[in-house]
Structures are given as C-alpha cells and as structure tokens.
C-alpha cells in the first residue's frame, strides 16, 4: 500500500496526549483517547494490506503473522527486559508478584484480560503498574490473530459482502460496548469484543474511497481533527468511557484517514517533520512511557515534581528513537538471524517462553523474593491490601442475593445474634478485629459490607453506574433482615466524607488520593432539590440515621482519618530508600477540614438521640495537641492503602467501637 505520511502524524496525535496525561499533566485530561486513535489506525492499515493480498490471491496467514512479529515483539521484549532490574530493586514482594504475573500475561497476549480481572476497589494503583499499558497491545494482538482469519473466511462474499460483514461486526461490538458500559464498565474498557468496533471503524475506511472534492475534503478532515482535539481537551477520568464517548475521537480519526488527502491543510499539518518523526517512533514511545513513569513513582518518596516528569517525557522520546533506530527498523528489515520466517517465528516463540518463565519465577513461584528487604520493611509491605475483601464483602460485580449469608453469621453460644455490622469497605476492614472482640464478649453478630456504598438506605449513585440503586437495596435488605431476626444493635461504618463531598482526599502534605470520583458520588433522590448537593446529602444522612435509630440501637462509627497516600508503600520506601524510621503521619488540620461537618452532625445526633452511641475512632489515631494523625510507626502500618485500615489499625480502633456496642447492648432491657 502507498505510504501515507499524514498517518504517521496521526500516530503522533495519538501518542503525545497519552504520554502527557500519564506523566500527570491533567490539562489533557482526555489523552486516553489516543488509544482509540491507534485502534482505528490499526484497523485501517491491517485491513488495507489484507484486502490487497486477498484481491491478488496471494494471502498468507503465516506471512501476516511474521510481519506482525517483526513489528511488535522485538521492542516489546526489550522494554520488558529493561523493567526487570528496576522491578527487582524497587518493588515490594506483592508488587513484584503482580509484575511477574503481568509479564506472563503480556507474553500470552492476554494482559487486557488480566488487568480486567484485577480491577476492583482494592486494586493496586494504575500509576504503579509498569506494564498496565500493554492491555491495548493485547487487544490489537487478539485482533491480529483473529481478524485475518475472519476476512479470509468471508472473502467469498465479495468485496461488498465483506464490507457489510465488517459493518455488522462493528455494529454488534458497539451495541455490546453500550450494554457493558452500564453493567460491567471494567470489562467494557479492557476486553477486545466491546473495543472491536473501533478497529472495525478503521477497517471500514479501507473499503471506502476518499472521493470528496477538495473543499469537502478540507472541511471533513479538519472536522475530524477538531473532534479528536475536543475529546482530548474536554474528557477527563470521570468521563464514562468507552461507549458513546468514544464515538467522537473514533469518528474523527476515520474522517482524517479518509479525507486528509495530499494538499489538504490537515494533511500538511500531520505530515510536518516533527509530527512525522514522533509518529514513526510512536510505538516505542508508547512502550517506554509507562515503565519510566511507574518506576519513578515507585522509587520516589512523594509525587514526582512536574519538572522531573517533564524530563521523563523527553527521555521517553529519546529512548523511543533509539529503539526505533536500532531495534524496530533492523528487525523489520530482517538480518542473518531473522532472514527467514522460521527464524522470526522461532525467535518470537523463544522470547515468549522466556518471558513466561521469568515472570513465573520473579512472581508467584518466589512470592516476590521477600528476602531482598529487611524485616522491618516487610512489616510495612505485608500491610498492603491486608484484610481487604473476603466472603462477606460484596460489590456490583458480586452482589448479595439473599440473607442470611451463613459464612457472615457468628452466633453466640446460645445460637443468638444481636449485632449487625453494616457498611462499605471501611466496615469490611474493621470486621475481623471487631468480630474478635464481640466473640470474646460472647456477643453474636452478623457482618456484611458493600464496596463504595454509603451504609444508609435511600441513596443512589449520581454518575453512570451498572446498578445505581444497588446500595439502597443492599442496606435496606440488611436492615430488614436484622429487624426480622431480632438483632438489636446496628454498627454503621462508612467513609461518610467521601460520599458527602463526592471527591477523594488531599491530605495537604503531598498525598492526593487517586481514583474515579464518579463511582462514589451519591444523592438522596427524594431530598429537596434546593440548596447545595452536599447539604442535601448531609440532610439525608441525618434523616436516615434517625430513622434507623427508631428501629435499633445504633453504634455510629465516626469517619476514619484518611491518609491520601498509600501508607504501606510510602512507609516501605522511606525505610528502604532513605533509612527513615520515623512515624508517618498526616496533618490533623486536614482531617478536621475533611470531616468537620459530618462529625458535627454525628455529635448532634448522638447528643439528642439516646439510642445512638458514638464511636469516635479518630481518637485512636489523631493527636490534636501534636496536630497529627498517625499512619505508620516503627512497629506497623495502620493502613492497608490510602484510606483503609490494616489489621493493625483495625485492632487499634476496635476497642472504641466495642465500648460503644457494650453501651448499646446495656441499654436494652
């Protein structure tokens, strides 16, 4: 096929926003659409090549796979190999296990499936996963494996019939994406079937002539660039994606491919030297950027400064040029070792096997080689994610279907249950320590929690959610079960400030929590519409707590001081990289600013409602006179991430909750 320099420039339009966004420069908040641009380009180029070969009658699937192996694998193998020493030196054992598993999935072209399965409330931060970006390569690799076979199978339908089959496949994929966007957003993002329509959009372009007159081609191609630019500038991490939001960048890319013909302004812009140069090295740039950024963050004791991240953007392009010049080009052209197809495919297989073996050894087979680090550091590392999840913690992907859940019911010696522990993942983190205390007090209890759900009925999620009423239904069913079975006391534990503000935490000392705000933004549908959303949420919280207190004794667990940074990881890095054994804490002022209104509300309810018993767990962690809230000390990390208690932290605050339960149980005749 004819080389099109404007497509090289289009690759630059795709890769630069991705790199800039992942470097932490949020002004290009929609930079993630660069992946979608790449999908359309890949669909177009691959289909054009295949149509030419099928039309000439010399299509060879072996030759096609050889070309793909030459194009993709050498640079990929190099980047993964370059990651290994840094992973060994800087990753905690659990992180190294995760990296090893990721390496195996990359070699097997299924990293998108792995990262989909790994997604969840307690999943490791995306910014710390050096190989996370390979999910999009896996989608393309799966396309490369299957699409040529599909085209060959339907070729007997004729060019028009094949075109219609491509359109039908794309339409089915788009419908699937729209459905999964509502019921399984993570699957919609990572998996190939709901992404296939983007590749099919590019494939469809290969069938269409670029036949507009000059003025029409100018307008259409500039409109395409405008659609891409608008998506990059207007979208952010709260934008539900993909789905309908992916249509503008995908359609814009298709317009550029079809109508940025030689002589048009769009073609001249995209064919400019710098654009073409970045486009030529875009694949290697994409490969290098995420490991550079992730390992820098893993090694830093705080968020890397913008100047450093800007320097890494430049280093990404330098490494990309070196890789393009000395790896990509020579391997694509062949050589003495890789002159034959057998040599290429054999080397590809050998490289894949080596990646699988290395990944298995540094990962699950060795438990991440914990002996690399001192025992004190391993105490912090072991707190990462500890106590999370379990058989009594539910979410939208694992809803609770009925009560009772036998594994969540812990009766006393007489077979009775008098306490319900209800809440979100913060309640889940408390479950073991509080449960142990209740068992010692010979008090039967029932404990269930639901990730990301305010532990009160009457709320729904504001943003796109697979089940906007799931939290209300979960809470209401648990309380109805408690009432029906004679439970007298309900412990309510949740991350109330997060639901009140609809925004994650900034501790004021450099710890800014990562994550999607939309997943936790709630509202009470029946609340009056006047006033600020926060005030309406506060009023609904008060109404619901008072309503529950008419039915039960209520132990009201005050908000946990959020950390804002990943406590085990930061404590580990301070010890290993700086030999800093001092306590890790956050400003008390940050806690007060975040919780003042919700704490005042809880104080007021507890003061005038005899059946509400306060459990002010912040007193176990915060010292008002010192102006700090403790995250970790030389003996333990009290958080398992940036806002959940570790087992050690739960043990620290549990006595306060148990005292409130004792007071509540003592009130009952």
Please choose, from the candidates 562, 502, 512, the residue with its C-alpha nearest in 3D space to the C-alpha of residue 534.
Answer: 502
Residue with tokens 């009056």: 528
The confidence score (pLDDT) of residue 147 equals 96
Q: How far apart are CA 289 and CA 22, in angstroms?
A: 8
- Decide which of 122 and 232 is more confident: 232
- Please give the share of the chain, as a percent, with pLDDT higher than 70: 94
Residue 520 has pLDDT above 70, yes or no: no
Q: Which CA distances in Å does 653 have to 422, 451, 645? A: 17, 20, 9
The pair of three-digit structure tokens given for residue 214, joined into one six-digit string: 């000059």
Q: Is there a contact between 502 and 513 (Cβ–Cβ < 8 Å)?
A: no
The pair of three-digit structure tokens given for residue 284, joined into one six-digit string: 């290697």
Residue 154 has pLDDT above 80, yes or no: yes
Q: Which helix (H) or strand (E) is 329 found in, with range?
A: helix 329-333
The pair of three-digit structure tokens given for residue 287, joined into one six-digit string: 């490969």
Q: Which helix (H) or strand (E) is 420 found in, with range?
A: strand 419-423
Q: How far apart are CA 138 and CA 272, in angstroms?
A: 31
The confidence score (pLDDT) of residue 668 equals 44
Q: How far apart are CA 133 and CA 126, in angstroms?
A: 9
- Decide which of 581 and 464 is more confident: 581
The confidence score (pLDDT) of residue 399 equals 80
Q: Which helix (H) or strand (E) is 33 found in, with range?
A: helix 33-56
Q: How far apart are CA 580 and CA 213, in angstroms?
A: 68
Q: Which CA distances in Å does 405 have to 146, 478, 487, 502, 542? A: 43, 11, 15, 31, 29
Of the listed ranges 253-257, 410-414, 456-460, 566-570, the one predicted with least confidence: 456-460
Q: Is there a contact between 411 and 446 (Cβ–Cβ < 8 Å)?
A: no
Residue 598 has pLDDT above 80, yes or no: yes
Residue 433 has pLDDT above 90, yes or no: yes
- Please give the share of the chain, as a percent, with pLDDT higher than 90: 77
Q: How far apart are CA 284 and CA 317, in angstroms?
A: 8
The pair of three-digit structure tokens given for residue 460, joined into one six-digit string: 């729904």
Of the listed ranges 125-139, 149-163, 321-335, the one predicted with least confidence: 321-335
Mean pLDDT over the full length of the chain: 91
SS3 of residue 237 by DSSP: coil
Residue with tokens 């991430």: 641
Give the tens place of pLDDT for each residue, 22-55. Answer: 999 988 889 999 999 999 999 999 999 999 999 9
Residue 124 has pLDDT above 70, yes or no: no
Q: How far apart are CA 184 and CA 467, in angstroms?
A: 10
Q: What domains can you pick out in the chain, each with its CATH number? A: 5-372 (no CATH), 388-560+591-617+644-667 (3.40.50.2300)
Q: Is there a contact between 456 and 478 (Cβ–Cβ < 8 Å)?
A: no
* Torsion on CA atoms 570, 571, 577, 581, rounded to nearest 10: 150
Sign of CA dihedral 595, 601, 605, 606: positive
Residue 525 has pLDDT above 80, yes or no: no
The confidence score (pLDDT) of residue 303 equals 87
SS3 of residue 393 by DSSP: strand
Q: Find the mean pLDDT for residues 192-198.
A: 97
pLDDT band for 336, please (50, 70, 90 cuts).
low
Q: Is there a contact between 66 and 344 (Cβ–Cβ < 8 Å)?
A: yes
Q: How far apart are CA 177 and CA 144, in angstroms?
A: 20
Please choose, from the candidates 362, 367, 364, 357, the residue with its C-alpha nearest in 3D space to the C-alpha of residue 107.
Answer: 357
* Torsion on CA atoms 102, 104, 107, 109, rounded to nearest 10: -60
Q: How far apart are CA 493 and CA 645, in angstroms?
A: 12
Residue 385 burial (C-beta neighbours within 10 Å; 0-12, 13-18, 19+) = middle
SS3 of residue 629 by DSSP: strand
DSSP H helical ranges for 485-629: 496-501, 533-549, 567-578, 588-608
Residues in a beta bridge with 491: 421, 555
Give the tens place of pLDDT for each residue, 138-148. Answer: 999 999 999 99
């Amino acid at each position: 096929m004819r080389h099109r320099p404007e497509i090289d420039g289009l690759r630059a339009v795709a890769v630069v926003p991705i790199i800039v966004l992942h470097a932490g420069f949020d002004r290009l908040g929609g930079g993630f659409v660069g992946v979608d641009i790449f999908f359309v380009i890949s669909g177009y180029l691959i289909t054009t090549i295949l149509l030419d070969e099928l039309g000439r009658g010399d299509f060879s699937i072996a030759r096609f796979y050889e070309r793909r192996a030459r194009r993709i694998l050498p640079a990929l193998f190099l980047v993964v190999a370059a990651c290994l020493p840094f992973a060994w030196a800087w990753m905690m054992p659990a992180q190294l296990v995760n990296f090893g598993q990721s390496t195996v999935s990359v070699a097997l072209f299924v990293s998108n499936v792995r990262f989909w399965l790994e997604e969840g409330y307690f999943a490791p931060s995306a910014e710390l996963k050096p190989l996370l970006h390979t999910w999009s390569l896996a989608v393309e690799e799966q396309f490369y494996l299957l699409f040529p076979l599909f085209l060959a199978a339907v070729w007997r339908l004729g060019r028009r019939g094949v075109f219609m089959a491509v359109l039908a496949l794309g339409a089915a994929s788009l419908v699937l994406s729209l459905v999964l966007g509502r019921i399984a957003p993570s699957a919609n993002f990572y998996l190939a079937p709901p992404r296939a329509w983007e590749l099919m959009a590019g494939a469809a372009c290969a069938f269409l002539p670029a036949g507009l007159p000059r003025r029409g081609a100018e307008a259409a191609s500039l409109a395409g660039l405008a659609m891409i630019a608008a998506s990059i500038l207007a979208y952010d991490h709260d934008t539900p994606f993909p789905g309908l939001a992916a249509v503008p960048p995908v359609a814009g890319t298709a317009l550029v491919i079809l109508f940025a013909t030689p002589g048009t302004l769009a073609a001249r812009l995209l064919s400019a030297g710098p654009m073409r140069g970045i486009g030529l090295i875009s694949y290697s740039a994409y490969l290098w950027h995420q490991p550079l950024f992730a390992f820098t963050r893993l090694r830093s004791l705080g968020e890397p400064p913008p100047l450093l991240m800007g320097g890494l953007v430049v280093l990404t392009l330098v490494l990309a040029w070196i890789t393009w010049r000395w790896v990509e080009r020579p391997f694509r052209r062949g050589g003495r070792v890789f002159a034959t197809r057998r040599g290429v495919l054999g080397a590809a297989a050998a490289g894949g096997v080596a990646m699988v073996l290395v990944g298995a050894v540094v990962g699950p087979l060795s438990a991440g080689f914990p002996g690399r680090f001192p025992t004190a550091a391993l105490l912090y590392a072991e707190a990462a994610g500890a106590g999370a999840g379990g058989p009594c913690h539910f979410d939208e992907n694992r809803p609770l279907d009925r009560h009772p859940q036998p594994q969540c019911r812990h009766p006393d010696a007489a077979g009775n249950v008098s306490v319900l522990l209800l809440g979100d993942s913060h309640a889940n983190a408390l479950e073991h320590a509080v449960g142990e205390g209740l068992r010692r007090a010979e008090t039967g209890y029932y404990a269930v929690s639901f990730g990301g759900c305010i532990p009160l009925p009457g709320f729904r999620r504001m943003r796109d959610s697979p089940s906007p009423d799931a939290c209300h239904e979960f809470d209401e069913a648990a309380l109805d079960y408690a009432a029906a079975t004679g439970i007298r006391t309900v412990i309510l534990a949740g991350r109330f400030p997060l639901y009140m503000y609809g925004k994650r935490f900034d501790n004021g000392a450099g710890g800014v929590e990562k994550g999607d705000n939309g997943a936790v933004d709630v509202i009470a549908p029946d609340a009056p519409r006047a006033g600020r959303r926060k005030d309406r949420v506060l009023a609904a919280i008060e109404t619901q707590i008072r309503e529950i207190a008419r039915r039960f004794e209520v132990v009201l667990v005050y908000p946990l001081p959020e950390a804002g940074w990943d406590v085990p990881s930061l404590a580990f890095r301070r010890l290993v990289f700086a030999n800093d054994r001092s306590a890790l804490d956050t400003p008390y002022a940050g806690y007060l600013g975040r919780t003042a209104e919700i704490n005042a509300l809880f104080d007021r309810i507890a003061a005038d409602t005899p059946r509400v018993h306060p459990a002010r767990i912040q007193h176990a962690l915060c010292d008002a006179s010192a102006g700090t809230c403790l995250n970790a000390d030389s003996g333990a990390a009290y958080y398992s991430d940036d806002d959940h208690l570790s087992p050690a932290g739960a043990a620290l605050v549990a006595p306060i909750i148990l005292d409130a339960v004792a007071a509540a149980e003592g009130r009952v005749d």
